[in-house]
Structures are given as C-alpha cells and as structure tokens.
Amino acid sequence: MSSVMIGVIGIIIVIALLMLRVPVALAMGIVGFGGYWIISGANPTLKLMGMVPFSTTANYTFTVIPLFILMGYFVFYGQLATNMFSAINVWFDRVRGGICYATIVGGAAFGAANGSGPASTATLAKITIPEMERLGVNRRLAYGIVASAGPLAQMIPPSMLMIIYAILAEQSVSKLLIAGIIPGLIIAFGYMITVYILLKRNPELALKMERQPLSVKMKELKGIWGITLLIGAIMAGLYLGFFTPTEAGAIGATLALLITLFSGKLSLEGFKLSIIESIKTTATVFLIIISSFLFGYFLGISQIPNTVSSFLTGLDVHPMFVMFGICLMYIFLGMFIDMLSAMFLTIPIILPAVINLGFDPIWFGVIVVFLAEISLVTPPFGLSIFMIQGAVKGSEYTEILKGSFPFIVTDFIVLFIFLFFPQIILFLPNLM
C-alpha cells in the first residue's frame, strides 16, 4: 500500500473519530502515531514521540495562548460585560429595537476582550436575551442576534483561532490579529443592517425604547472605561509595534486583573476560578497542538500535502473556483465536527495549495476563521445554538435556528465580499 493511500485512510479515520465525538487530541494523536509507525517503522516513530512534545511547545510564540486565555477569564469573572452592555444600551434609545443594536455592538466589544466565540455567546445569552424580551423584542430575533453576535469573538482580536492558525501556518501572529479588525467591524455592521431590514419589514418585532436623558447616558459611560482601555491598549500596541503578541497578552492579562480589582467586581473565588480555568484550557489547547503536529508529521511523510497541492494547482479552472470548493469543504466539515478540529486536520494539507494558487496566507486565515464563525450557527451541530439552549431556560433548538437564518444569509454575503475584495482584509496588515 502506498504512503499516500495510508495518509488518505488516516484522514478518513480521524474524521470518523471526530464525528463520533472522540476528543480531537486523542483522535489525531493515535492516528498520527499509528500512521507514522506504519510508514517509517518503530524506531523513527519512538524518536519522534520523544521529540515532538518538547520541540512543539518550547516555542516562544506559544506563550501568547495562556496569557490571552487568562485575560479572557479575568474579563468573564470580573463581569466587565454586564457593565459594558448597560452603558452601550442607553445610547441606542432613539431607534426602534435599540437594544438589538446594542447587543451586536456589545458582542463585538466583549469579543475583543474575550477571544472565545462560545464563551462570548454564553455570556451574551445570559445578560442580553432576558433584557431584550423584557423590552419587547421578539424572542426568535433575540436568539438570532446573540447566536450570531457571540461568535464575533473569533474574528476580532485577540482571537484564539487567529493565534492557532498563525502557529499552524507559520505566519505573523500580530498581522493575523490586526487583519481581523476591519472584517470584524464589517460583519457587525452587516448584522446591524440585517436587524434594520427585519424591523423595517415588521416593526412589531421590537418596540422603541424609553428615552434616556443625557445625564443618564453620560453616567453610564463609566461602565465601559475598563474594557475600552483594555481593548485600546492591546490593539494600539500591536498595530504600532510597541510590543509583541506575547507582551500584548501579558499586558492584557495584567490590565484585566487590575481593572476588575479596581472596579470591585472580581471576587477571590472569581480570581481562583480564572486561574484554574486558564490552566485547564491551556493544557487542553497544548495537548491538541502536540497531537496535531504529530499528525502533521504523518501527513508529511505520506506526501498528502504535496499530492493535494499538485492536484489543486493543476486544475484547469480559475483559482477562485478552487477557493469556493475549499470554503464549501469547511462549511460541510463545520456542520459535523468542531472547526478547531477541522483547522488542525486540514491546514497542513490545504495551505501549500492555497499559497501555490497565489492566495495570501494572512487573507486565507481570516477566511478560515470566518468560516469557523459561521459553523457555530449552522445546523446540525452549531455550538452557539446549544450554548443559548443551555443559558436560556425554555429556549428551543428550532426557534433559535429560525432566528439565526437571516444572519447566516448575511454571513454568506459578507463572505463573498471578503473573497472578491481581499484588500479589505489585507489593508491594515500591509501597513505594518
């Protein structure tokens, strides 16, 4: 049996294991180990096993991961999102369904201080859905807004998926993070336009909010100073080159701790939980990274990446048609397996072909992360849908899905814009 065929069988086994909900680290680690053993033999495989865990993780670039994770947990347990949402909400009192727009803006802002789509969705669901229902917003619309706005955390820096892609693709972490700013804002604006169109067609979906005096609005602004300072310091420092991504993570975690302590929102129990959850999440991410690199070595000696690259670049079609096919592949995978798993599985295979076809790897990284964002709301395993079900009592799967549909349409419209106008994504990274 040829090495390529062994590689194909290995990929099929991994996909099957992931669909059976086997942990991604276990699935890729076992298949990578077994496949490398079959092709290279026992001694090279055992030497590889002794080398990969240390050589993979003893990398300065990886230190950014636990620092941004810690920052996200400080923000979460320090309840910065609650104060921020209240402050944003009062400034949308002059428009029908103002709380809907406030939720989208709040989701983008919280995502910029959190970095995790599922965590952002769960937080928004607990804070905003009860409030939207209280103010007369249609429940289905409220579900759709939160299911779509929550995953914005995966696009807007500091996005964990952006960092992981940068590591897998050996690209600049700073450029990947900065590349997500403009697309994230465009996506948020697209959701706001969607809400406007829905309310224009059916004004009964949301009521007008009670007008608030300027004094109240100004007083509420104190609720956003902390998260504004945190986001501004990280983005400005990265873009202007004042510090590296790792230093940005350290500064972000320190600032988040000081802000939450100063505001009196972070309890001792919250501090302990932030540390413990950060350790758990970091250990999980690093185990997945080690397993993915082992699986990557297996794919390398099986010649799968070279074979796929040669096949795709040899097709007598425009490169954009190939990119459409790649996007469809990720959308299909995202329906059945976690997109983080899909990224670890596919990036080593697909990226060489993408580069040979003339596409920018930074641009492609943003596209992949956006597809991961879309996968959080697409059936049958859209994680955002289940996060809302768990956070809001009485919510139903079909109702959340129906509410999300207009925003999924918006996602695909924005995706086509990003595909045909790559400079939208590359404008800020090219200035660095």
The pLDDT tens digits of the residues spanning 264-296 come to 778 888 899 989 988 888 888 888 888 888 888
Give the pLDDT score at 182: 92
Q: At what angle do helices 98-112 and 139-149 cross, to 10 degrees?
A: 20
For the chain, percent of residues with pLDDT exceeding 90: 14
Could you tell me the pLDDT band of residue 411, with boundaries at 50, 70 and 90?
A: very high
Give the pLDDT score at 44: 87
Choice among 109-123, 131-145, 262-276 with the minimum mean pLDDT: 109-123
Give the pLDDT score at 295: 83
Cut 0.95: pTM above it: no
What region does 318 belong to: left with phi over 0, alpha with psi -120 to 50, or beta?
beta
Q: Which amino acid is at 336?
A: F
Could you tell me the pLDDT band of residue 313, with boundaries at 50, 70 and 90?
A: confident
Give the pLDDT score at 220: 66
| In contact, 388 and 395? CB cutoff 8 Å | yes
Could you tell me the pLDDT band of residue 366, with boundaries at 50, 70 and 90?
A: very high
Whether pLDDT at 138 is above 80: yes
Whether pLDDT at 333 is above 90: no
Whether pLDDT at 30 is above 70: yes
Supply the mean pLDDT for the chain: 83
Tokens standing for residue 298: 């297996």
Whether pLDDT at 198 is above 80: yes
Mean pLDDT of 136-164: 83
Dihedral angle of Cα 169, 170, 175, 179, to the nearest 10 degrees: 0
Could you tell me the pLDDT band of residue 367, with boundaries at 50, 70 and 90?
A: very high
For the chain, percent of residues with pLDDT exceeding 70: 93
Tokens standing for residue 254: 């320190």
Give the pLDDT score at 82: 67
Could you tell me the pLDDT band of residue 217, with boundaries at 50, 70 and 90?
A: low
Could you tell me the pLDDT band of residue 83, with boundaries at 50, 70 and 90?
A: low
